[in-house]
Structure 1
Amino acid sequence: MDLNAIRILGLDPGLRRTGWGVIDVTGSRLAFVACGTILPPEQAPMGERLAHLHRELLGVIERFSPQEAAVEETFVNMNPSSTLKLGQARGVVLLAPAQMGLPVAEYAALLVKKSVVGAGRAEKAQVRMMIGILLPKATPETEDASDALAVAVTHAHHRGAAARARAAL
């Protein structure tokens, strides 16, 4: 890793599948590092699923040593039970990097799509295609991993503005 590079961990939270993607950013240059999907055991009790997600996220953070993390905000769907479960997974996804001392940014799905594709209503296939263009060495095997890389790319594009806003407060 270039000494001037910032390593960013992007996360796409989910209880069934949580995507993660790591990129290095040097100036305006983006470089793919790794990506994957965490699959908590679906039949396990909720506590075990969340603990599995937490352990795996800590492992990703320890393995790739990111300096910053970014998480996609979740939307509220029509099923309150599903929304609650997703919120629990999202809490773990926010906790793990924060617990490791990383600053954690959050981005709306519309902003992620707009940042990567140019349109907030882009389809997942369009996001995946653009990730392939922006990060030619990227090998996301799932939409979740591709989405996580898109979150990391979004953070790379917006982190300077966010830092300036924090400094102004």
Structure 2
Amino acid sequence: MSTTQSTPRPPFLPTDPEEFTSHVITHGAEWFDYCRRVDEYVVNTEPILAESQQQARQLPLQNQALQREIDHLHQQLTAEESAHQQTRAALQAIIEYQKGQLKEKEQDYINALAEKNQAVQLAAPTVNTPARTPESAAEVPAVAPVVAPASIDSPSATSAQLSERLPDPDKFEGD
């Protein structure tokens, strides 16, 4: 809408009213052209000036709207950061809990292995061997004589006997 037009300049700049009057009388056509250009300039400049004034009035309102939007975005970002920190804290607590559970299960596993090893040792048959003395070592033949295996008792008779070497284990409760 703006057309670039320079401000019209008068044909002569008088210093007093008499000089102006005498110049207008002698150069009337130039002053008429000057007055016409001034009128065109004013007509073309008024809408541009009104639009500029309107924009100048709207700029503070636009600035306020942008400031409210910035404040809203800042609050939203702060809320998101707070939620992120809460989520991070909750996840850290879960990790710590799981680490504790893992340590507990590892300890349970170690205890179970120890119990297994103890059970295997208890299940192994034991043989009483006499203590050797240095003199008796010379008397022992190089090859031991083959003897008949010990008699195998029926399962009911074996389970009814108590071991002389070790006490019976505690009742198994599934742990």
TM-score, normalising length: structure 1: 0.18
Based on CA coordinates, which of the two structures has the bigger radius of gyration? 2
TM-score, normalising length: structure 2: 0.18
Higher helix share: 2
Higher strand share: 1
Greater RCO structure (CA 8 Å; 6+ sep): 1
